[in-house]
Each structure stands twice: as C-alpha cells, then as structure tokens.
C-alpha cells in the first residue's frame, strides 16, 4: 500500500469521526436546550400575564375611587367583567391588558378588589384577598390541554 493512500484514508477517517462527534454534540444540545427554551418561554408568558393582571387590579381599585367620586355606575353584574361597560373599557385602556378579566368581589367601603380572575393566553390567574387584609394572594394556573364537548 502506498503511503499517499494511507494518508488520504486516515484523513477521510478523521473527517468522518469529526462529523460523527459534531452530530452527536448537536443532538445532545437539542435534547438539553429544547426543554429549557420551552420552560423559559412559558416563564416569560406567565410573568407577562401576572404583570397584566396586577395592572388590572390596581387600575380597577383606582378607577373605583374615581367612579365613586363622580357618582357614575362602576359595578354591573350583567356584564362579564363585573364592571359597567364604560368602567371595563377604562380599566382595559389604562392597564393595557390583553386578556379577559372578571371582578368577582369588591369592598365598597375601601374600593379594594377582594376577588378577581384574569385569563391571558394559556394562563388563568386568580386573586383573593381577605376583607381588611393588606394584601391578597395570587394563584396561577397553566392550561395544558383544552377539552371541547
């Protein structure tokens, strides 16, 4: 066998080995990075929904003061949001929320939201506060599957 044939064969084997190593490394990176990126994306969505829900909560409490001061109707149980149509539009405008919200309970004396829900994307956030408490508690649910009847 010629020395030149041996060197070209060795070079071809090295290239094949490098390609195998590169493909295995790429496969391992995909296996590790795909779940990490999925988790990061879900985390970003959750934080965005949480931020929007808090904006809705704060704007609802502030607008309740304004509406009570002017004597305009603020609550309307016939609407899905629990607020009058004008108040609901104001909350959505000032908070910049993209999701759907529902005010379930409002303390008329202090204008504090006692219970509300907010849905944005795959997330449902529920806020509950005891009457007279300084702060409430947020519960976050992520939709995994949606079943249709």
The burial class, CB within 10 Å (0-12 / 13-18 / 19+), for 25 is exposed
Tens-place pLDDT, residues 82-97? 999 999 999 999 999 9
8-12, 66-70, 135-139: least confidently modelled range: 8-12
In this predicted structure, the answer to whether residue 5 has a pLDDT above a threshold of 80 is: no
In this predicted structure, the answer to whether residue 2 has a pLDDT above a threshold of 70 is: no
Q: Output the pLDDT for position 3.
A: 62
Q: HSE on the CB side for 96, CA within 13 Å? A: 7
For the entire predicted model, the pTM comes to 0.76
Round to whole Å and give the CA distance between 80 and 141.
20
User: Considering the chain, what is the average pLDDT of its residues?
Assistant: 89
Tens-place pLDDT, residues 22-69? 999 999 988 888 888 888 888 899 999 999 999 999 999 999 999 988
- Show me where the domains of the chain are located: 3-142
């Amino acid at each position: 066998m010629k020395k030149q044939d041996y060197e070209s064969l060795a070079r071809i084997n090295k290239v094949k080995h490098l390609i195998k190593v590169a493909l295995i490394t790429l496969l391992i990176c995909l296996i590790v990075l795909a779940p990490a990126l999925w988790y990061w994306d879900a985390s970003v969505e959750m934080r965005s929904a949480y931020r929007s829900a808090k904006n809705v909560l704060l704007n609802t409490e502030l607008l309740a003061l304004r509406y009570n001061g002017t004597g305009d109707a603020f609550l309307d149980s016939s609407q899905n949001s629990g607020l009058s149509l004008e108040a609901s539009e104001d909350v959505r405008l000032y908070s910049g929320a993209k999701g759907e919200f529902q005010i379930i309970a409002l303390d008329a004396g202090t204008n504090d939201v006692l219970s509300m829900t907010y849905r944005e994307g795959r997330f449902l956030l529920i806020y509950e506060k005891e009457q007279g408490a300084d702060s409430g508690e947020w519960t976050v649910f992520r939709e995994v599957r949606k079943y249709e009847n």
